[in-house]
C-alpha cells in the first residue's frame, strides 16, 4: 500500500502574485515541492488546472494543507462542496493553517466529523455574507458620492505613449499581433483598443 502524502494547495489572485511566503510555509511543514500546487487566477469556479491535478492525485489518508478556508472556494456553496468532496469522496484530510480547529485528522468518529463540517459551513457562510456586505457598502458609497456630485470613478490607467506607439507600429507593419502587443504593454483588451482608437484619431493613421 502506497504511503500517504502531504499536499499543499495555494491560490493567489491576479492582483496578488506573491505566493513565495506560502510556498515556504508549505516546505516548512515537510511538503515535497512536487506536491505543492499553485493556481494564479481569480476564477469564480473550479476550472483551475492545478486544483484539479491535486484533487485527482489524492488518495485515502492523504493530507491537504491550505493557508485559509477561502482557498477552497470563492463562496459558501463552493467551499462546502469542495470540503465534502475531499473529505468524503476522496477520504483525505484537510488542515487549515490559520485555524487550528479545522484539522480533520483529529475529527474522529461521527461527532468529530459533524462538528468540523458544521464549523466549515458556518465560517464559509459568514465569509460570504461579509463579502456581500462589503460590496453593498461600496455600492451605497458610490451612490451617495454620485448624489453629491463628487464621484469620479476609477482612476484612468496611465499608458506610456512612447512605448505604445513603438509597439503599435510593429502591429501596423505586421511584425506583431494585437494580442502580442497587449501582452508586451501589459494592457487589457478594452484599455488597449481604446488607446488604439485614440492614437488613430490623433494621427490619422488607420492601419490595422
CB 61 within 8 A of CB 91: yes
Residue 93: CB atoms within 10 Å: 22
Give the largest Cα separation in the chain, rounded.
Answer: 74
> Beta strand 6-11 with 36-39: parallel, antiparallel or unpaired?
parallel
CB 64 within 8 A of CB 93: yes
CB 84 within 8 A of CB 121: no
Please tell me which residue in 13, 42, 68, 180 is annotated as part of the active site: 13
CA 158 from chain centre, in angstroms, equals: 25
* 13: annotated active-site residue: yes
Residue 122: CB atoms within 10 Å: 11
Q: How far apart are CA 15 and CA 79, in angstroms?
A: 21
The residues annotated as belonging to the active site are: 13
Amino acid at each position: 500500500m502506497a504511503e500517504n502524502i502531504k499536499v499543499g494547495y495555494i491560490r493567489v489572485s491576479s492582483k496578488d502574485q506573491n505566493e513565495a511566503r506560502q510556498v515556504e510555509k508549505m516546505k516548512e511543514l515537510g511538503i515535497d515541492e512536487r506536491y505543492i500546487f499553485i493556481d494564479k487566477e481569480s476564477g469564480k469556479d473550479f476550472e483551475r488546472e492545478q486544483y484539479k491535478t491535486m484533487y485527482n492525485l489524492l488518495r485515502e489518508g492523504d493530507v491537504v494543507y491550505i493557508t485559509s478556508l477561502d482557498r477552497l472556494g470563492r463562496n459558501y456553496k463552493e467551499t462546502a462542496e469542495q470540503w465534502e468532496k475531499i473529505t468524503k469522496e476522496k477520504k483525505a484530510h484537510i488542515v487549515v493553517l490559520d485555524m487550528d480547529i479545522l484539522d480533520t485528522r483529529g475529527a474522529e468518529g461521527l461527532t468529530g466529523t459533524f462538528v468540523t463540517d458544521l464549523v466549515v459551513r458556518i465560517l464559509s457562510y459568514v465569509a460570504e455574507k461579509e463579502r456581500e456586505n462589503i460590496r453593498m457598502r461600496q455600492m451605497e458609497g458610490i451612490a451617495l458620492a454620485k448624489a453629491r456630485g463628487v464621484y469620479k470613478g476609477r482612476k484612468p490607467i496611465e499608458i506610456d505613449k512612447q512605448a505604445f506607439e513603438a509597439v503599435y507600429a510593429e502591429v501596423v507593419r505586421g511584425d506583431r499581433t494585437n494580442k502580442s502587443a497587449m501582452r508586451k504593454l501589459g494592457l487589457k483588451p478594452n484599455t488597449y483598443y481604446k488607446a488604439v482608437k485614440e492614437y488613430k484619431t490623433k494621427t490619422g493613421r488607420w492601419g490595422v
